[in-house]
Structure 1
């Protein structure tokens, strides 16, 4: 069996995809963190610092403001394994809140099957199961998944959009790796029990585009989830957003093992983890995206039936090179190391 078929069969066995058709593309690759700080050029481009901390991966064009232009012309390096991807991807950070009210950042770690990253996340671009075509994002495109202010169920946190998984074993051993696939192990809220193998967030972005606007005031109205069904099963796009995009998905894994001592958890049994915008529910988890692939290479890849972190249509780099990519730290505050009396940007 060829490597592609073996990889596809493994994903199918784990429940991540249905049996793939000829022509389906599944790009899955790691990106190291490029910076951790309070900046958000999508939602808060006029604020330095922005309200809460993010971990950012991708190209070194990331800054307090990123012009709405071809980002691949602004960046000259990337922390992603595909060296022509200068996009930026970012999510909220997670902190542990101790019984004395202090906070410590939970480190992000590489996902299963990725090697060499420094923190960061795993990024997916996929086409539908049936191999139908998608239109790659255009220069200047950007979007948001989730709502940092949300604290109750509903909206994008409907099943399969954003979820958390509690890994039961070190190195994810024995754990199914499919995103938001099993309500016995996945939830749209932060897990309420210790996670020996770490905790994962899966964030799936909208897959239908209005075909005109590269952004919108809320960074969401120009895109949509399928009208019915799911992207993976070729659910139709609404008439207002007729252009089918690749499914962009983040997988973020936190190493919670240092915080699994239940004696350090709240006496009332509530969970002690809190996202960087002060959210202890998990409903406010979100992901931000600024497109920055070079030229037409993403469209070519989506039409080349590529699988995994290798693709003949794309150039790759080792993480020894990717991890050299950096941006200057703009916000001078401690957000990553040691114990903090308050969450950065939050009153308490």
Structure 2
């Protein structure tokens, strides 16, 4: 593992080179807007440029209650040690998942992972789940907040770049589907996320080719019968039952050491294929199997999408952030019952095709 000083130095050098190449400084962003607003809050191009530059420099200024020294490393307490990637092949089950159904709460140009304690520095984000997520959010503040997720125990923060169609901000309506799945073949080895784990999936700076070949790419932008799109479909069927959709998967192997790292990615990894098999296993340097999050977002827009754009830039700049603030016991009950148990569960942890298995949560989506 590289020394902290070397990785941090490399981050700062990369940022300096990027600033020199662009010949630009930081650009101030406008204040956040409530979820009901339909107007763009800032130039999309300006927001993308500022975010691109500042992401490279974030490690030099990222201080928070969770990371008081601002070096970008947040150690797990306790760390998970003595784990080897599981190569077991348990009995095949078609499903090993449950849903976290969470609604949009608000929008704001904040990002407590990339730009902690720096309100207004990010491009505009659409937030789901925790109702209090903002630039100042910490593990403790999220735990004390409310949630729009069906399970009251899920106070996690989920966010993604806001979608605009022309000048109109398009927000998902109602509970969205956030899957928690097994990303490895040995679904019985998956364990819950540690409290405070956070990471970024994808990048606002990725190219169209990088987006298409990203390990988290599932079916790209979907609309009607059109799938695997890197660009927004130029013509979605203009029908009430048609929405623009995207599905994108997160890494599901953790290093067991850090809740965050300076690039907000290095502590996480995607599974790899075990040589000579079709089995997905965690790599040796990220041996801890955790749930694989899959965003499945539906945006109520169709028809002509030639003016559609993300706050972070073009369609292929899609990415999202996750900040774990689940109640530990609730998350463990769902992971054990649904993922380890090989079931296809709803937000209660109930699989309607296996009613004999019961549910992990009660009718109020709480522990019984």
TM-score interval w.r.t. the shorter chain?
A: 0.5 to 0.7
CA RMSD of aligned residues (A): 2.6
Match of 1:87 among 147, 156, 181: 156
Partner of 2:200: 144
Larger radius of gyration: 2
Q: Cα deviation per residue 1:262-312 (whole Å; 9 max; x = unaligned)?
A: xxx7xxxxx3211012x22x2210010000111232122111135122223
1:309 aligns with 2:347: yes
In the alignment, the residues of structure 2 paired with residue 43 and residue 162 of structure 1 have an alpha-carbon distance, to the nearest angstrom, of 25
For structure 2, the 5+ residue unaligned runs are 1-90, 350-358
CA distance in 2, matches of 1:46, 1:63: 9
Q: TM-score, normalised by structure 1?
A: 0.66
Residues paired across the two proteins, number: 254
In structure 2, distance between residues paired with 1:165 and 1:138: 31
Q: Distance in 2 between matches of 1:154 and 1:37?
A: 27
Q: Supply the distance in 2 between the matched residues of 1:316 and 1:234 (Cα, whole angstroms).
A: 36
**Equivalent residue, structure 1, for 2:77:** none
1:200 to 237, 245, 250: 245
Partners of 1:253 and 1:155 in 2: CA distance: 19
- Asked whether the 8 Å contact 2:211–2:317 carries over to 1, the reply is no
Distance 1:61 1:256, change over 3 A: closer
1:105, 1:73 → 2: CA distance? 29
Could you report, residue by residue, the CA deviation over 1:200-251 in whole angstroms, capped at 9, with x for unpaired residues? 111211011101111111110000011237xxx7511111111111111111
Greater share of residues in helix = 2
Tell me if the contact between 1:209 and 1:242 (Cα under 8 Å) persists in the aligned partners. yes
The counterpart of 1:276, out of the listed 305, 311, 317, is: 311
Q: Tell me which of the two structures has the higher relative contact order, counting C-alpha pairs closer than 8 angstroms and 6 or more residues apart.
A: 1
Counterpart in the other structure of 1:124? 179
d(CA) in 2 for partners of 1:195, 1:45: 40
Moved more, 192-201 or 219-228: 192-201
Instruction: Identify the residue that residue 325 of structure 1 maps to in structure 2.
Output: none
Q: Tell me if structure 2 keeps the 8 A contact 1:30–1:122.
A: yes
Contact map agreement 1:106 1:254 (CA 8 A) in 2: yes
Q: Distance in 1 between matches of 2:94 and 2:273?
A: 23
